[in-house]
Amino acid sequence: MTNDKNRVLIFDTTLRDGEQSPGATMTHDEKLEIAQLLDEMGVDIIEAGFPIASEGDFEAVRDIAEVTQNAVICGLARANFKDIDRCWEAVRYSERPRIHTFIGTSPLHRAIPDLSMDEMADRIHETVTHARNLCDNVQWSPMDATRTEFDYLCRVIEIAIKAGATTINIPDTVGYTAPRESADLIRRLIETVPGADEIIFATHCHNDLGMATANSLAAVEAGARQIECTINGLGERAGNTALEEVVMAMKVRHDIMPYTTGVDTKKIMNISRRVADVSGFQVQFNKAVVGKNAFAHESGIHQDGMLKNPQNFEIMRPEDVGLSATNLVMGKHSGRAALRAKLHDLGYDLGDNQLKDVFVRFKALADRKKEVYDDDLIALMREAGPETDDHLRVKFLRVICGTEAPQSADLTLTMDGKDHQVTATGDGPVDATFNAVKQIFPHNAHLKLYQVHAVTGGTDAQATVTVRLEEDGRIVTGQASDTDTVVASAKAYVAALNRLIVRRQKVGSDEKEISYRDAVN
């Protein structure tokens, strides 16, 4: 892909490993949107999904392969011909397809399919050969590599290389290793395995001990030239290596890490926000690079130092990651041109029709808030993003709350074009509202998460509410913002139910679903 010995390839697996986070399931349109943002940002390889997992996942990988312009499009496949064939059928539409096949090689993982070392070695040879006969770009991963016996790891990597693998990925599947071990393992493999100098070694680190970024960078220093990562560090358990962290670390500390990537870092904040929106996993305030407080300064000493010279307390500029350097206030007197310019600064380029819709929402918000800040506009754009079909829509809500129980909610809900009105009580206004929704649209989904974030400060701040529901193993997330927290709660709850309806329809079409748990890498 490149002859530059210091060029590090960025392999983004937000749409595959990131989506394995319980509750982070994305819709088809959202996957395509994120893939296009990744492609525009300059990611080298996009792991678009696990094609055999479901018909929906297959279609998403196939469609992403068709619409992306620059990145290699990769699909995941277990070590069997059926998975690999299905993966190829999905990625073959890409200008630059890749098959990524894997098998667990550690003693614990060998016990799952009950294969001996020799039997597994034969399986690896057969499946990598089969993948290479279909596609000239094949990646192979020994799952749980960091807990695999070194001699056996060398043996199976040599087999995979001889069978035609062009990239060998070394996964720290359970986040067990430490930076020194990560570097030593890559270095020893490159020195020991025949043919290692002819392929690319990749690193795939999980963050269970909080060392995913450090482990990935250590692997690069030892000779790995591909980092597998996700936006916001999304992923199972404690997540994966965060793309924004490794990319900015190499950029800021180029003096000791003289490596380059193809990522346009100014697009980081926009895609970080969008992934947070569609996944329902909000970024923690103190998250490196993309957290709300990453460029905030409250201490008097820090503020004084920043006023004198921003470099006193900032090692990178907010603009370097696509964060607006200023937070200009918009209001009800602001026009369309000003709104378009502000949204452009925030990373949103809207067509005329989109701007018209957002401008109406902006004016309505400005009538309720004296000052509309950047974060308010970002929340507004969440409301304007791609959505599932609105089978349910909140039309009217009035609640009675206070110290006198019971609290009640008078709700009018539009369901498939018809209005339904009920009054319900509950333990607080939000509970009463949810009970009212359930009366109109009965369901057995369990509320797994209810979370409220203030978008800005002040009593007129918008609240962003996230609701996560689970029904028969299906997890869905809804999110909405409003200056009225109860209204935001109702909209988020209804948004989650709309997604649940879509998921029910997919299952009802006899779609064969294979657990993502089998694809942990």
Choose between 301 and 232: higher pLDDT.
232
204 is in an annotated binding site: yes
- pLDDT the model gives residue 314: 64
> 168 and 111: one domain?
yes
Of 208, 220, 209, give the one whose Cα is nearest residue 247.
220
Q: How deeply is 152 buried, as exposed, middle or buried, from its count of CB atoms within 10 A (0-12, 13-18, 19+)?
A: middle
Q: Is residue 513 one of the residues assigned to a domain?
A: no
> 478 and 347: one domain?
no
Of 287, 237, 314, 336, give the one whose Cα is nearest residue 20.
237
Of 254, 178, 189, 253, give the one whose Cα is nearest residue 216.
178
> 358 and 267: one domain?
no
Query: How many CB atoms neighbour CB 354 within 10 A?
Result: 14
At which residue do the structure tokens 């009054």 appear?
423
Of 433, 484, 453, 34, give the one whose Cα is nearest residue 231.
34
Q: Is residue 185 one of the residues assigned to a domain?
A: yes
Confidence category of residue 519, pLDDT binned at 50, 70, 90: very low
Identity of the amino acid at 331: G
Q: Is residue 514 one of the residues assigned to a domain?
A: no
Sign of CA dihedral 19, 24, 29, 35: negative
Query: Is the pTM here over 0.95, yes or no?
Result: no
Q: CB-based contacts of 309: which residues, under 8 Å, 6+ apart? A: none
* Domain around 304: 293-322
> 38 and 147: one domain?
yes
Question: What average pLDDT score do residues 261-273 get?
Answer: 95
> 375 and 396: one domain?
no
Question: What average pLDDT score do residues 282-306 get?
Answer: 68
Question: What average pLDDT score do residues 214-221 get?
Answer: 98
CA 472 to chain CA centroid, Å, is 24
Of 118, 101, 182, give the one whose Cα is nearest residue 156.
118
> 422 and 312: one domain?
no
pLDDT per position as a tens digit, 455-510: 877 777 888 898 999 998 788 888 888 889 999 999 999 999 998 888 777 665 53
Number of domains in the chain: 4
Distance CA 85, CA 474 (A): 27
> 313 and 447: one domain?
no
Confidence category of residue 101, pLDDT binned at 50, 70, 90: very high
Q: Is residue 288 one of the residues assigned to a domain?
A: no
Whether residue 311 has pLDDT greater than 60 = no
Q: CB-based contacts of 494: which residues, under 8 Å, 6+ apart? A: 392, 393, 394, 413, 437, 478
- pLDDT the model gives residue 280: 81
pLDDT per position as a tens digit, 183-197: 999 999 999 999 999
Question: What average pLDDT score do residues 33-43 get?
Answer: 97
CA dihedral angle for residue 198, residue 42, residue 272, residue 172, rounded to 10 degrees: 0
DSSP label at 498? Answer: H
* CATH code, domain with 252: 3.20.20.70
Q: Which residues of 104-118 are buried (b: 16+ CB within 10 A; e: fewer)?
A: bbbeebbeeeebeee
Question: What average pLDDT score do residues 392-416 get?
Answer: 89
Confidence category of residue 511, pLDDT binned at 50, 70, 90: very low
Q: Is residue 516 one of the residues assigned to a domain?
A: no
In the chain, the largest separation of any two C-alpha atoms, in whole Å, equals 77
Lowest mean pLDDT among 174-178, 200-204, 448-452: 448-452
Query: How many CB atoms neighbour CB 449 within 10 A?
Result: 14
Lowest mean pLDDT among 57-66, 123-132, 187-196, 308-317: 308-317
Token pair listed for 147: 């807990």
Please check whether residue 206 is in contact with residue 174, taking contact to mean a CB–CB distance below 8 angstroms. yes
Q: Is residue 287 one of the residues assigned to a domain?
A: no
Q: Is residue 420 one of the residues assigned to a domain?
A: yes
> 17 and 81: one domain?
yes
Last residue of a domain, one of 366, 386, 406: 386
Q: Is residue 233 one of the residues assigned to a domain?
A: yes
* CATH code, domain with 454: 3.30.160.270
Beta strands 138-143 and 9-12: pairing type?
A: unpaired
Confidence category of residue 161, pLDDT binned at 50, 70, 90: very high
Token pair listed for 236: 């199972």
- pLDDT the model gives residue 388: 47
> 332 and 351: one domain?
yes
374 is in an annotated binding site: no
Token pair listed for 501: 């309806």
Three-state secondary structure along 409-465? Answer: EEEEEEECCEEEEEEEEECCHHHHHHHHHHHHCCCCCEEEEEEEEECCCCCCCCEEE
> 251 and 315: one domain?
no
> 317 and 339: one domain?
no
Question: What average pLDDT score do residues 9-17 get?
Answer: 97
Q: Select, from the ranges 255-269, 395-409, 471-485, the one with the highest average predicted confidence (pLDDT).
A: 255-269
Query: How many CB atoms neighbour CB 55 within 10 A?
Result: 15
Token pair listed for 146: 């960091």
> 22 and 170: one domain?
yes
